[in-house]
């Protein structure tokens, strides 16, 4: 017997270019459903400007892309 959806979450994935030319992803769980392109772009640029993260491929150097990933978990009653 199927149950109902017990959890629906949204995760913001911000993908950056790093100094070596590859990409690095930073994910933020429980993202607001009403995030705008401008808010995400501003946040990503602030992360780059403040240089607060460094990867094994060097510092974050630019914005590649961003996306919202929605996950629904449905419990199956056994």
- Per residue in 24-42, pLDDT (tens digit) is 999 999 999 899 999 999 9
Q: Which residue has the tokens 């995760």?
A: 11
Which pLDDT score, from 0 to 100, does residue 2 have? 59
pTM beyond 0.85, yes or no = no
* Per-residue model confidence as pLDDT tens digits over 5-23: 677 889 999 999 999 999 9
Most confident of 34-43, 48-57, 68-77: 34-43
Cα–Cα distance, 50 to 57 (Å, whole number): 17
Alpha helix locations (H) across the chain? 37-50
Cα–Cα distance, 29 to 12 (Å, whole number): 6
């Amino acid at each position: 017997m199927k149950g109902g959806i017990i959890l629906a979450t949204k995760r913001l994935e911000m993908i950056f270019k790093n100094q070596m030319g590859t990409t690095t992803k930073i994910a933020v769980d429980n993202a607001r459903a009403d995030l705008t392109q401008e808010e995400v772009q501003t946040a990503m640029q602030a992360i780059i400007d403040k240089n607060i993260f460094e990867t094994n491929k060097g510092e974050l150097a630019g914005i590649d892309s961003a996306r919202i990933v929605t996950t629904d978990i449905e419990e199956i009653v056994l």
